[in-house]
Structure 1
Amino acid sequence: MTLIRSLCATSLLLGTALPAFAATAGPAYGPELQGFEYPYPVEHFNFQSQGKTLQMGYMDVPAKGKANGRSVVLMHGKNFCGATWDDTIKALSNAGYRVIAPDQIGFCTSSKPDHYQYSFQQLAINTHQLLDTLGIQKATLVGHSTGGMLATRYALLYPAQTEQLALVNPIGLEDWKALGVPYRSVDQWYERELKLSAEGIRQYELNTYYVGRWKPEYDRWVDMLAGLNKGPGHTQVAWNSALIYDMIFTQPVYYEFKDLQMPTLLLIGTSDTTAIGSDIAPPAVKATLGHYNELGKHVAKLIPHATLVEFPGLGHAPQMEEPAQFNKTLLQGLNAL
């Protein structure tokens, strides 16, 4: 059964693939985001994968006050990091949850291998190994954007270990390649990613994330992305980013939403227009893509035990634009499932 609720909010839009711009001045961070301050201590999980020794950065935040015995795993999006969950981590911890916020391999504080076969299955396996090491046998997964695709894949691989699923403006609510979006090669993605800069990212986010409205706190996340890209790991970061974009485009989870059996909360900003490759899609195709006001309702019908909560007027990252409202809604939804 699908339940639909609506919440009033302001607007925000996002395109997941950032455009190319020339380099500009600004902070530069190490290849594993060395020099950027996280809201909680970052620990590292060392493990073997595909013949390589890798490390996965993560925050493990205990419940503050009375613990409820439950754990929440927060899965970040493509242009985000575990740190961007800052407000949500605090809200969940205050509510009694243990919170794990990992940076996936290829992202942020984690390893960026020269050669790696990226798949959502592999990232899910990595995350499962981390949780097993931490003694977490069952958890609620909260996935945003690309993290929504990963959380879906994790839930399909490990249904017995997934207590609940919450998807925050997940991408992959449609299969772009099946809808006619042209394929962009890894080399093409790489050339694009090499040219990212703080100036270009800020202008892009102003126009798409926040529809002309900018808050000073957004500068921190611009610097995070641009500083990682322009630091000593510049080519390494760009190459891993290109591989990850290829994974996102070529590995849809859309066809398997029907197989999710756990309670699932869909948190959808209705003004989101995210669609991978929409910038190179033919106009007639582009016009059909990324309509989250429709996609949320459609996918809620595909998932057997879904509850859809809509944020009218909000875009791709409601947890960052309206954190107090989002966190209240998330906690209510998790308690109700």
Structure 2
Amino acid sequence: MLTGDAIVAGARLAYRYTPGDDTLVLLHGTPSHSFIWRNVIPDLEASGRGVLAYDLLGFGASERPVGRDTSVTAQAGLLGELLAQLGIERCTLVAHDIGGAIGQIFATRHPERVAKLMLIDSVSYDSWPSETWRRIIRDHLAEHAAMPQAEFERMLTGQLAMTVTEPMSAEVLDAYLAPHRTPLGRASFFEHQVRHYDSAPTERVAPLLRTLRMPVRILWGEDDRWQPLSYARRLAADIPGAELVTVPGAGHFLMEDRPRRVVEEIGQL
């Protein structure tokens, strides 16, 4: 297993990589980082498959460069460069939330590099951001970025509570909040994440989904409060041969609510 940092296009990405056959690349979403895969990675590694998980630029332990484009479109470009640097010519993408947008963009741009694709509770089409975040981004982003730390953590805690069907433990919640518990971390949340909550990239890629020919599985928590199941059905209808699997009693952070089920579904890719 290799852990550390890779310098990709002049930026530092924190990653964990276990080489093996048929490499699985795990793409997280927001507001999270690669920590979300912690209950999934060990079993995947034990199966003998290669596993790469990394923090997107501006997230988790990766660099948070001022003025750098960290949109899903830019992240798709960084994904390609990271794979090349690690010598991964072809992989299976397992992509959650905005990671799903990155996966859609990368798979339609470079289908020869994607053997299989799994989208887990993914943003798509015009499914994001919520109307509340649209208003904040449009009218109040500077105010929110300047809010006191305690108020910011209450807001983010409320957001995280909506991602699961069972409350997170204090330890798990702390791990999600940890990257944002400094002035830089709080500013980065708005600069590198919220500022790029924008459906334009997923609306642009939508017509290209019909061109995908690799096996595609769509995995969705039936109680997802952020990405309605109707979008999963739309993806399944638009991607040729895509299989839709829904998980009862699970929310948006499927890897928190049902990690064993996620491992089982990935194992069928």
Q: TM-score, normalised by structure 2?
A: 0.86
Counterpart selection for 2:234 from 264, 286, 298 = 298
- Counterpart CA distance in 2 for 1:267 and 1:221 is 23
Check if 1:139 corresponds to 2:100: no
Q: 1:119 is matched with which residue?
A: 71
The answer to whether the 8 A contact 2:116-2:215 is kept is yes
Q: 1:285 is matched with which residue?
A: none
Q: 1:32 is matched with which residue?
A: none
* SS class of match (2:38): helix
Stretches of structure 1 that go unaligned for 5 or more consecutive residues are 1-39, 64-68, 275-289
Q: Which stretches of structure 1, 4 residues or longer, exceed 4 Å deviation after superposition? A: 181-184
Question: In 2 relative to 1, CA 243–96 (structure 1 residues): closer, same or farther, beyond 3 Å?
Answer: same
Counterpart selection for 1:329 from 240, 250, 265 = 265
Structure number with larger C-alpha Rg: 1
Check if 1:251 corresponds to 2:212: no
Q: 1:43 is matched with which residue?
A: 4
Q: Identify which of structures 1 and 2 has the higher relative contact order when contacts are C-alpha pairs closer than 8 Å and 6+ apart.
A: 1
- Counterpart CA distance in 1 for 2:155 and 2:255 is 23
Q: 2:12 is matched with which residue?
A: 55
The answer to whether the 8 A contact 1:186-1:243 is kept is no
Counterpart selection for 1:209 from 151, 163, 173 = 163
- Counterpart CA distance in 2 for 1:104 and 1:96 is 25
* SS class of match (1:87): coil
Question: What is the deviation of 1:299?
Answer: 1.6
**Equivalenced residues, count:** 261
- Counterpart CA distance in 1 for 2:46 and 2:15 is 19
Question: What is the deviation of 1:117?
Answer: 2.9
Question: In 2 relative to 1, CA 191–157 (structure 1 residues): closer, same or farther, beyond 3 Å?
Answer: farther
Seq. identity, %: 23
Equivalences for 1:102-251 in 2 at 5 Å?
A: 102-175=54-127, 184-185=136-137, 188-195=140-147, 197-206=152-161, 208-211=162-165, 213-216=166-169, 219-233=170-184, 234-245=186-197, 248-251=198-201
Higher helix share: 2
Aligned amino acid, residue 297 of structure 1: R
* Aligned alpha-carbon RMSD (Å): 2.5
- Counterpart CA distance in 1 for 2:138 and 2:68 is 13
The answer to whether the 8 A contact 1:118-1:243 is kept is no
Aligned amino acid, residue 210 of structure 1: V
Stretches of structure 2 that go unaligned for 5 or more consecutive residues are none
Counterpart selection for 2:219 from 259, 267, 272 = 267
Q: TM-score, normalised by structure 1?
A: 0.70
Question: What is the deviation of 1:298?
Answer: 2.2
- Counterpart CA distance in 2 for 1:78 and 1:192 is 17
